[in-house]
A and B are shown apart, each in its own frame.
Chain A
Amino acid sequence: MSAQITLNARNLSRRLGRREVIRNISLQLKRGEVLGLLGPNGAGKSTTMQLLSGVLIPHAGQIEICGINLAQEPGRAKACIGYLPEHPPLYRDMRVDDFLLYAAKLHGVARSGLAEALAIAKSRCGLEDTGRKIIGTLSKGYQQRVGIAQAIIHNPDVVILDEPTVGLDPSQIRDIRALIRELGNAHSVILSTHLLGEVENICDRVEIMQRGQLIYGDTSVRMQSLGHQAGFIVTLQSPPEPAELYKVPGVVNVEALSATRFKILHSIDANTAEALLSLSAQQGWQAQQLTPLQGNLEDAFVHITQKQPNQHDQT
């Protein structure tokens, strides 16, 4: 059985005055999938999240949550969504337990299931010992956890997290990422971020936004290969003149990193590494180590977002 589609948004648009801040966005999300919404500041990520969570109403387009139309039956559809805004909506003078129970009741958790829902949400977010504390006295990291707990307490099918790791220290970020990954097993998760590392670590799929439009969408693995530059770093114990290396078929650029290490870029189709190794064996260059260059998301992101404006101007 193929995974159920939990969120289906078609052709969403939203204007701010005359300016279109969201243009024609379509998104689909399957159960058990973590989707990263990536983009520079001001690209419209938060607005998209607000549209999907039903806080704002799109000026055009349809949103279906688990097959329920968000505009026509907001009550039923919103019960399937958990939303953590950019700024967690916490009542600073409430106790953690009271706040979470309030959130659960608002999301329609039945009275009989409240205690269990509270216990599960707290244990998932590591809040077991903070139930009696006043939210305003908690650290930023713990407040963020309370925010996430609030979003998952009613066991929603779709969890929408807007920049969940902003302002946290590295160990807190690690914890929250692990939590999101875990959430992704049972729920569908959309998270927005401008941190590429986050996408690399936890997202199955990436959508890149710029100027209110989705400009690229693919699996995060495929996106990494996009920034990939064909090449490798090789160590030669008795290297020849660099000019010799250029003679190897396919080599585009040679950069000496040290006396014995060279970074070699080559054209994508050429089988340069093999050619170099066999040549090295013939000439006695003593090749020792050959590491292919890893493409990273950073490169891919820059690659995609820089290419886009030009394309846009042409159309």
Chain B
Amino acid sequence: MTRPDTMILTIAHKEFRSLFATPSTWFILGGLQFIFAWFFLARLDAYLQVQAQLVQLANPPGATHSVAAPVLATIGFILMMLVPIFTMRLVAEERRNQTLVLLMASPVASWEIIAGKFLGMLLFLSLIIAASFLMLLTLALGTPLDYGLLITNAAGLFMLAAGYSALGLYFSTLTTQPVVAASSTIAALFGLWLIDVAGSSTGTILKALSPTVHFQSFNTGLLLSKDITYFLLFSAICLLLAIRRLNNSRIYG
């Protein structure tokens, strides 16, 4: 018998590879990198204009704080619309093409299927995040960088991507139409974001539900255990719901 982790890796590998088999993925990746570069250059330009005044301050903010962090915050925002486009196909398309049967009839447990697909997606999103960091690292050519801030940001973006893909994966198990999965994921993520931006009128308990609120502390360089716990719980709950949904389809057809 093969061990479960090899099954998970097999599925993750297949998901990862099939993403690159479609031209649209390459197209989106290219477009994305262009948008990131645009934001980056705009931020850099603004920073260079005020830099002369900044140096007169006693404790001036560095390039990492003024350029990299805002760009990464924007990437976090873009992930909200980007992740559903990739997660929508994970299960919904397999249902529609009736290929899910292959997984269901294989000696693979439902949790292994979900874990494999989640892992493959996360690997892919990490690639996008890593590419944006490579771009930001070019700042090191002209100025010393605050690597601590970059690392908390990387951790934050990774957590955000994990939470979003877990939610997207769950919505993908609910339907046979990828488009429905995508739009409902975007709607849900937008709703969670609205809780954040709705202002101080909303209660702090409600605000604690929003992923973007928890990402903000990562973005400012804070590594808080409550934020890490939040993202772990958020992802775990979505993944458990997805596993449950897959199990139910064995029972109810």
Contacts and interface: CB of A to CB of B under 8 A. Distances in A.
A187 interface: no
Interface in A31-65: 53-57
Interface string B7-22: 1001100100010011
A106 B7 contact: yes
Contacts of A16: 253
Interface stretch (A84-92, A175-183, A212-220, A258-266): A84-92
Given A89-B97, A106-B11, 17 more contacts: A16-B253, A54-B104, A74-B107, A75-B109, A76-B107, A78-B106, A85-B101, A85-B105, A89-B101, A92-B97, A94-B18, A105-B10, A106-B107, A106-B108, A107-B107, A110-B2, A150-B102
Interface string A62-86: 0000000000001111110101010
Contact of B106 (A90, A92, A94, A107): A107
A108 interface: yes
A92 B94 CA distance: 11
A53 B253 contact: no
A103 B107 CA distance: 11
Contacts of B22: 93
B105 A54 contact: yes
A55 B1 contact: no
A102 interface: yes
Nearest to A87: B98
Interface in B235-253: 250-251, 253
B36 to A, nearest CB: 28
A55 B105 CA distance: 5
Contacts of A150: 102
A55 B18 contact: no
Given A76-B1, A106-B7, A110-B2, A93 B21 contact: yes
B90 to A, nearest CB: 13
18 contacts: A53-B105, A54-B104, A55-B105, A55-B250, A57-B250, A75-B107, A78-B106, A85-B98, A85-B101, A89-B101, A91-B18, A93-B22, A105-B7, A106-B102, A106-B103, A106-B107, A108-B1, A150-B102
A90 B94 CA distance: 10
Scoring A57, A85, A94, A108 by chain B CB atoms within 10 A of each residue's CB, the highest score goes to: A108
B2 A108 contact: yes
B109 A83 contact: no
How many of chain A's residues touch chain B, expressed as a range? 20 to 34
B14 A102 contact: yes
A89 B21 contact: no
Nearest to A78: B107
A78 B105 CA distance: 7
Nearest to A14: B253
B251 A57 contact: yes
Nearest to A150: B102
B253 A89 contact: no
Interface string A150-178: 10000000000000000000000000000
Contacts of B6: 105
- 8 closest residue pairs by CB, A with B: A89-B102, A78-B107, A106-B106, A89-B99, A83-B105, A75-B107, A79-B107, A108-B2
Contacts of B55: none
Interface in B64-117: 97-109
A75 B1 contact: yes
A108 B100 CA distance: 17
Interface in A163-213: none
Given A56-B250, A94-B21, A108-B2, A81 B98 contact: no
A284 to B, nearest CB: 69
A89 B100 contact: yes
Nearest to A83: B105
A108 B103 CA distance: 12
A74 B109 contact: yes
A93 B106 CA distance: 20
A74 B7 CA distance: 14
B8 to A, nearest CB: 11
Contact of A91 (B1, B99, B104): B99
Contact of A108 (B98, B105, B107, B109): B107
Contacts of A91: 18, 97, 99
A89 B18 CA distance: 15
Contacts of B253: 16, 56
Contact of B98 (A57, A78, A89, A93): A89
Nearest to A77: B107
Interface string B174-216: 0000000000000000000000000000000000000000000
Max chain A C-beta neighbours (<10 A), residue from B99, B107, B109, B251: B107
**Which has the most chain B C-beta neighbours within 10 Å: A57, A75, A78?**
A75
Contacts of B101: 55, 83, 85, 89
Contact of A90 (B99, B100, B103): B99
B51 to A, nearest CB: 50
A60 to B, nearest CB: 13
Nearest to A134: B21
B174 to A, nearest CB: 19
